[in-house]
């Protein structure tokens, strides 16, 4: 069974058609990248998959469950990290992970979950400092840890390294790669084409609400006779 199956998804906001009948499949253990320019429909698609938005039409299934009729079942298995996610800045990093963990576990299981979050965030002694003192990179690592410590079968990550410097971005990419080794499937959106090329097993390129190209990075670079995915992206967007 595929992790995500999307068939002819459409989403309207009033009269605006944000997503115009897209289809794709994500298999277990993949890092799947949904990429495209601003306003292309990426975040809308992620929100539909994460059950936060209802599709206008089409069929969207996650682990075989329908996002419209069975959202509660889907939410047991997924974690969603929006690009603009935040945290309670008056809490310490440890307190924040514990607060989130209590929605999912208690007792010994809660302790294990929080310890896993601490390990993923890898903030050292700073995990006990207030979040208000964290840099953007530290905050993002904490939030990625929050998304992954619950052991989701599907992690949906919207711009996971947005605004980070090179070292922090590398650390977050390593966290994502390591999560797949432990059995997590990842759907991510990113404007960083080098990141997409490095991380993703498959990608779908969306523009104006339509999937205009898809495949593995190597397939697409060969098809467009390009040196990297950034060149593929530029060529496809220019022609679509």
CA gap 221, 236 in Å, rounded: 11
In a 3-state reduction of DSSP, which class is residue 33?
Answer: strand
Region 196-207: what's the mean pLDDT? 93
The predicted pLDDT at position 108 comes to 95
Provide the percentage of residues in the chain whose pLDDT is more than 90: 78
Q: Which two tokens stand for residue 15?
A: 């009269």
Which one has a higher pLDDT value, 169 or 129? 129
pLDDT at 38: 87
DSSP H stretches of helix in the chain:
42-49, 71-75, 93-101, 107-121, 136-148, 166-181, 193-199, 217-223, 229-239
Residue pLDDT, tens place only, 138-164 = 999 999 999 999 999 999 999 998 888
Q: Are 216 and 201 in contact (CB under 8 A)?
A: yes
Identify the bridge partners of residue 143 per DSSP, sorted by sequence position.
Answer: none
Angle at 50 between CA 44 and CA 51, to 5 degrees: 90
User: Is the distance from CB of 35 to CB of 157 less than 8 angstroms?
Assistant: no
Answer yes or no: is pLDDT of 218 > 90: yes
pLDDT reported for residue 195: 87
Whole-angstrom Cα distance, residue 4 to residue 232?
Answer: 25
Sort 38 into a burial class: Cβ within 10 Å, 0-12 / 13-18 / 19+. exposed
- Average pLDDT of every residue of the chain: 93
Question: What is the 3-class SS of 196-227, one letter each residue?
Answer: HHHHCCEEEEEECCEEEEEECHHHHHHHCCCC
DSSP code of residue 190: -
d(CA 172, CA 160): 7
The answer to whether 83 touches 172, Cβ cutoff 8 Å, is no
Higher-scoring residue by pLDDT: 83, 43: 43
Q: Would the pLDDT of 6 be above 80?
A: yes
| pLDDT at 11 > cutoff 90 | yes
Give the chain's domains with CATH numbers: 1-77+172-240 (3.40.50.300), 83-151 (no CATH)
Q: Which residues contact 171 (CB under 8 A, 6 or more apart)?
A: 122, 137, 141
Taking only the tens place, the pLDDT of each residue in 15-29 is 999 999 999 999 999
pLDDT given for residue 191 in this prediction? 84
Q: Rounded to two decimals, what is the model's pTM? A: 0.92
| Axis crossing angle, helix 136-148 with helix 107-121, rounded to the nearest 10 | 140
For the chain, what's the residue count?
Answer: 240
Q: Strand order in 65-66's β-sheet?
A: 16-26, 4-13, 57-62, 65-66
């Amino acid at each position: 069974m595929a992790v995500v199956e999307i068939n002819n998804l459409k989403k309207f906001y009033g009269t605006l058609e944000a997503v115009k009948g897209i289809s794709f499949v994500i298999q277990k253990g993949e890092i799947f990248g949904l990429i495209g320019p601003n306003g292309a429909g990426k975040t809308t698609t992620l929100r539909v998959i994460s059950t936060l938005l209802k599709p206008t039409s089409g069929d969207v299934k996650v682990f075989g469950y329908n996002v419209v009729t069975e959202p509660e079942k889907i939410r047991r298995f997924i974690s969603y990290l929006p690009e603009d996610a935040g945290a309670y800045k008056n809490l310490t990093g440890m307190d924040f992970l514990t607060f989130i963990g209590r929605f999912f576990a208690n007792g010994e299981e809660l302790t294990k979950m929080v310890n896993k979050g601490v390990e993923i965030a890898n903030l050292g002694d700073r995990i006990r400092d207030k979040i208000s003192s964290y840099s953007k990179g530290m905050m993002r690592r904490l939030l990625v840890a929050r998304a992954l410590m619950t052991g989701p079968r599907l992690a949906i990550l919207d711009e996971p390294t947005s605004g980070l410097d090179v070292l922090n971005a590398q650390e977050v990419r390593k966290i994502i790669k390591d999560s797949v080794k432990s059995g997590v499937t990842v759907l991510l959106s990113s404007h960083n084409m080098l990141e997409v090329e490095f991380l993703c097993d498959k990608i779908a390129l969306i523009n104006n609400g339509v999937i205009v190209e898809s495949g593995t990075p190597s397939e697409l670079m060969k098809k467009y006779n390009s040196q990297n995915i950034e060149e593929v992206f530029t060529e496809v967007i220019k022609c679509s």
